[in-house]
């Protein structure tokens, strides 16, 4: 098994590229690479690409292996080094996201930070919760196998309640897995008060929370706490599922909730030509740059089934942070929403 120091050194070398030293917050140019910004993921000291990869989409769509292999290898070649997956992203009998990732890039394991989640051993897409220690250990072992690796950098508890956290069995199970060398860092993935509680236990090195132009609560409620404690922060659903693409109101869950906010938020980049603009000033570029411009945010794990999407999003983010005026205008529009609409998470 690789030692932790060797892996960290490898990731730092990758971040440095051919051009010189990687400084968190400063884009790096590499001979074979895109212009990529890496940020230190809090107390983990891992340097992660600010645009990561979320694998919910490939699991939902049971995307074919060849497409995922192309997508991930191209992104790794460009400088992506943050990969997020979960025990339940995919149907066990179809192309499960963990299996797709393992087959695609398991042979390049030293080039990326790998996160998975536990808590739904027998389910898919959030069903079948089991928070027993035995289930968590079985799930980690299964993930290692599917992902073709002997260790995971971060394992998140996948949205358990405060009561489950308080009982302690889940956290203890993760600590045992860390002790056994199967995982390096503990994470909690969820929303709102649950994330706050997880932060306050100080057991977790990383949290994965919802942050996008539609859901901004974390900025005031959680990020001051993570910064105080030097906890790594991963934004899930960072591009708001790109709901501006839909001409009709989508029927599904938070897609519909986000879609309903487009009109009241009245962002200029969700109108007219900006809707079809794939660049940094377009809908996707502005939405993602809002997240990456948020202080305390380290990586945004954008979901995609499209080879080339990571390069597009990374390029948009490399165009630079939003100006203070642009950022505040997005905050002000969101704050003007009725309270109930601001409490999605």
Q: Which is nearer to ligand NAP, 184 or 312 (CB)?
A: 312
Q: CB-based burial of residue 187 (10 Å sphere; 0-12 exposed, 13-18 middle, 19+ buried)? A: buried
Q: Which is nearer to ligand NAP, 124 or 309 (CB)?
A: 309
Q: Which is nearer to ligand NAP, 17 or 282 (CB)?
A: 282
DSSP character string of 285-308: HHHHHHHHTSTT--EEEEE-SSTT
**What CA–CA distance (Å, rounded) separates 236 from 244?**
18
Q: Which is nearer to ligand NAP, 145 or 245 (CB)?
A: 245
Tokens of 159: 């949205």
Residue 82 beta carbon to ligand NAP: minimum distance, rounded to whole angstroms: 10
Residue 337 beta carbon to ligand NAP: minimum distance, rounded to whole angstroms: 19
Q: Which is nearer to ligand NAP, 165 or 301 (CB)?
A: 301
**What CA–CA distance (Å, rounded) separates 271 from 291?**
19
Q: Strand, helix or coil at 34?
A: coil
Q: Kindly list the residues in this chain that would bind ligand NAP in the complex (CB under 6 A).
A: 54-57, 84, 158-159, 189, 208, 236-242, 245, 284, 301-306, 309, 312-313
Q: Which is nearer to ligand NAP, 11 or 239 (CB)?
A: 239
Residue 321 beta carbon to ligand NAP: minimum distance, rounded to whole angstroms: 17
Residue 345 beta carbon to ligand NAP: minimum distance, rounded to whole angstroms: 10
Nearest position to ligand NAP, beta carbon: 303
Q: CB-based burial of residue 24 (10 Å sphere; 0-12 exposed, 13-18 middle, 19+ buried)? A: middle
Residue 21 beta carbon to ligand NAP: minimum distance, rounded to whole angstroms: 30
**Could you give the count of Cα atoms lying within 13 Å of 337 in the half-sphere of its Cβ?**
25
Q: Strand, helix or coil at 3?
A: coil
**What CA–CA distance (Å, rounded) separates 138 from 8?**
27
Residue 129 beta carbon to ligand NAP: minimum distance, rounded to whole angstroms: 12
């Amino acid at each position: 098994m690789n030692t932790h120091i060797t892996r960290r050194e490898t990731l730092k070398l990758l971040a440095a590229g051919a051009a010189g030293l990687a400084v968190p917050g400063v884009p790096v140019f590499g001979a074979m690479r895109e212009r990529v910004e890496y940020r230190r993921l809090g107390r983990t000291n891992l340097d992660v690409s600010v645009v990561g990869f979320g694998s919910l989409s490939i699991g939902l769509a049971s995307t074919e292996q060849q497409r995922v292999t192309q997508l991930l290898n191209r992104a790794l070649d460009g400088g992506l080094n943050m990969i997020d997956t979960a025990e339940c992203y995919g149907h066990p009998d179809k192309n499960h996201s963990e299996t797709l990732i393992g087959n695609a890039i398991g042979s390049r394991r030293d080039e990326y930070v790998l996160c998975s989640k536990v808590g739904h051993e027998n389910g898919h897409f959030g069903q079948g919760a089991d928070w027993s220690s035995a289930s968590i250990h079985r799930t980690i072992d299964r993930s290692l196998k599917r992902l073709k690796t002997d260790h995971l950098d971060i394992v998140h508890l996948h949205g358990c309640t405060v009561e489950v956290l308080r009982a302690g069995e889940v956290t203890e199970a993760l600590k045992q897995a860390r002790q056994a060398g199967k995982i390096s860092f503990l994470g909690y993935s969820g929303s709102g008060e649950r994330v706050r509680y997880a932060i306050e236990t100080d057991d977790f090195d990383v949290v994965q929370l919802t942050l996008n132009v539609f859901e901004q609560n974390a900025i005031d409620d959680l990020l001051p706490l993570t910064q105080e404690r030097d906890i790594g922060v991963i934004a899930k659903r960072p591009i708001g599922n790109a709901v501006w693409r839909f001409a009709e109101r989508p029927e599904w869950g938070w897609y519909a909730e986000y879609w309903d906010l487009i009109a009241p938020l009245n962002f200029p980049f969700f109108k007219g030509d900006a809707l079809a603009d794939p660049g940094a000033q377009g809908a996707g570029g502005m939405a993602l740059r809002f997240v990456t411009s948020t202080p305390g945010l380290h990586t945004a794990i954008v979901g995609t089934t499209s080879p080339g999407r990571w390069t597009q999003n990374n390029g948009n983010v490399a165009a630079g942070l939003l100006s203070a005026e642009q950022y505040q205008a997005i905050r002000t529009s969101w704050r003007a929403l009725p309270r109930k609409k601001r409490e999605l998470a």
